[in-house]
Amino acid sequence: MPRVVAWSCVVLFFCAGGVAAADPVAATRGKAALEGTAFIRAFWPSFGYAEAWRAWGVSEKPAGYDAAFRERYGLHPAPYPNDGLPMGLRKADYLFTKGIGIDCMVCHGGSILGKSIVGLGNTSLDIHSLFEELYAASRTPTRVPFAFCQARGTSEAGAFSVYLLGFREPDLTLTHKFRDLGLKDDACEDVPAWWLLKKKKTMYYVGATDARSVRSMMQFMMHPLTTRGDFERAEPAFRDVLQYLLSMEPPKYPFPVDAKKATAGKVVFGEHCAKCHGTYGERWTYPNKIVPLAEIGTDPKRYENIGPAFGAAYAESWFAKEKAGGWFLPGQPLKLTAGYQAPPLDGVWATAPYFHNGSVPTLDGVLNSRARPKVFTRSFGTGADDYDRERVGWKVREVSPPPATMSDIDRRRVYDTTRPGRGNAGHTYGDDLAPDERAAVIEYLKTL
């Protein structure tokens, strides 16, 4: 074992969190695999990209087409070679030629202060419009069978798995007898940052999957044309991808921080927050705490939507049959957890909006439930002008609930917290802080 790995294992063991330190050689391979491999076949022919504008209600192809395309769907420039496509789209096999598919970064490649970052959640994305308009441009109009996105910047990634597993036998061969495993499409999931995984014993918001599970991440490969053999051949690469995710570090807050205020905030954080979110710095601790739904009080849909029918089918499937655990915590088959996991807060300045459903646009709102906007929109740009340095998160504008006549793509630009899955209640732990204490905690959070 290289010395650097051995040493970081000691540190991690000492800190009593996380699964294991990343193997740097495998992590390098994993990065190359993630940025250079088409793990699934294309959904659209190549001309789908060039022709998408025909669905935009404009009379001619916009100038600066690549930028207009990214803006339309909420995609960002790829910070690695990607055949001229935005991050998240990828050249892949299509029938007997090449076409365009998606990859992990369509959701897990975000942007902050105008910089594309692999591993940051993409909070600009409207994946529903992307799918439907690219199908239309490809002259194969296809309705996505559920709402893939209810509010821009969130997606129904869980529903995607629930739907597609319904077409698979336990050994992942395709079946024509579709089983409804409890498909629901109103969880409005925000995408967690990948750099948090190394502190976690379990993955996903409810903490029901062992964080060492490689196959769990492969659910995304359930494209209708993916065969059992494809899954098996890709597993070694996914082992490396997991090592890459475990090696990631959060971006640093780039603006000045008031050190005195942050130090005061650290004390308040220690009293009010550390028991759930852990402590930070070289000798960090992280309790891996799942907070029961009734206690945390945030929106219940994500918790409820992925239920026993999917759990049972998953537990029988190839995904759950890997050595190091699988869908459920080792030794606890079919047992769902009690609520949501209190996430590590490393790099939290960059991961707005907050909570598992992205219902609160700033840290100030997280720490003061009375200050949370109810129905709001934002630019969905990620530049310095879009970023709220005072409240820490995205600048938003309160608006009226969207009328029924609004086009779907515009309606999804409005986040309406009165709608199912989008509730912004709960997590009231900052409500009783004095304003200067709250400001100090926010200053401290910038340093994590």
Nearer to ligand HEC, 298 or 317 (CB): 298
Nearer to ligand HEC, 34 or 414 (CB): 34
The amino acid at 333: P
Interacting span for ligand HEC (CB under 6 A) from 246-254, 314-322, 344-352, 369-377:
344-352
Cβ closest to ligand HEC, residue 264 vs residue 348 = 348
Taken in order 409, 123, 209, 445, is the CA torsion positive or negative? negative
Among all chains, which residue has been given the structure tokens 């995984």? 197
Length of the chain in terms of residues written: 448
- Using CB under 6 A, count the residues that bind ligand HEC: 48
Rule CB under 6 A: say whether 151 interacts with ligand HEC: no
Q: Which stretch binds ligand HEC (CB under 6 A): 69-77, 101-109, 312-320, 392-400?
A: 101-109
Q: Which of 27, 104, 214, 439 binds ligand HEC (CB under 6 A)?
A: 104
Residue carrying the six token digits 């599970």: 213
Place of tokens 């190549």: 46
Nearer to ligand HEC, 45 or 421 (CB): 421
Cα separation, 49 vs 69, whole angstroms: 8
Q: Which residue has the tokens 């420039």?
A: 77
Does position 278 interact with ligand HEC (CB under 6 A)? The reply is no
State how far the Cα of 270 lies from the Cα of 306, in Å rounded to an integer.
Answer: 34
Print the binding letters for residues 106-145 with ligand HEC: x by CB under 6 A, - otherwise: xxx------------------x------------------
User: Of the candidates 188, 214, 363, 440, which one interacts with ligand HEC according to CB under 6 A?
Assistant: 363
Contact 347, 250 (CB under 8 A): yes
Measured between alpha carbons, how far is 112 from 351 in angstroms, rounded to an integer? 8
> Of 238, 438, 398, 420, whose CA–CA distance to 318 is shortest?
238
Side-chain-side CA neighbours of 77 within 13 Å: the count stands at 7
Residue 430 near ligand HEC by CB under 6 A: yes
CB of 261 to ligand HEC, least distance (A): 14
Binders of ligand HEC among 177-216, rule CB under 6 A? 189, 191-192, 196-197, 200, 203-205
The amino acid at 124: S
CB of 124 to ligand HEC, least distance (A): 13
DSSP letters for 88-117: TEEEEEETTEEEEEE-THHHHEEEETTEEE
Binding mask 380-419 for ligand HEC (x = CB under 6 A): ----------------------------------------
- Confirm if 172 and 318 have CB atoms less than 8 A apart: yes
Closest-CA residue to 359 (of 430, 304, 422): 422
Query: What are the distances in angstroms from CA 329 to CA 3, 101, 213, 278, 356?
Result: 31, 32, 10, 21, 21
Q: 137 or 345: whose CB is closer to ligand HEC?
A: 345
Residues 136 and 133: their CA atoms lie apart, in Å, by: 5
Q: Which residues bind ligand HEC (CB under 6 A)?
A: 104, 106-108, 127, 155, 157-158, 160, 189, 191-192, 196-197, 200, 203-205, 217, 220, 241, 245, 269, 272-273, 275-277, 291, 296, 298, 302, 340, 342-343, 345, 348, 351, 354-356, 363, 366-367, 427, 429-430, 441
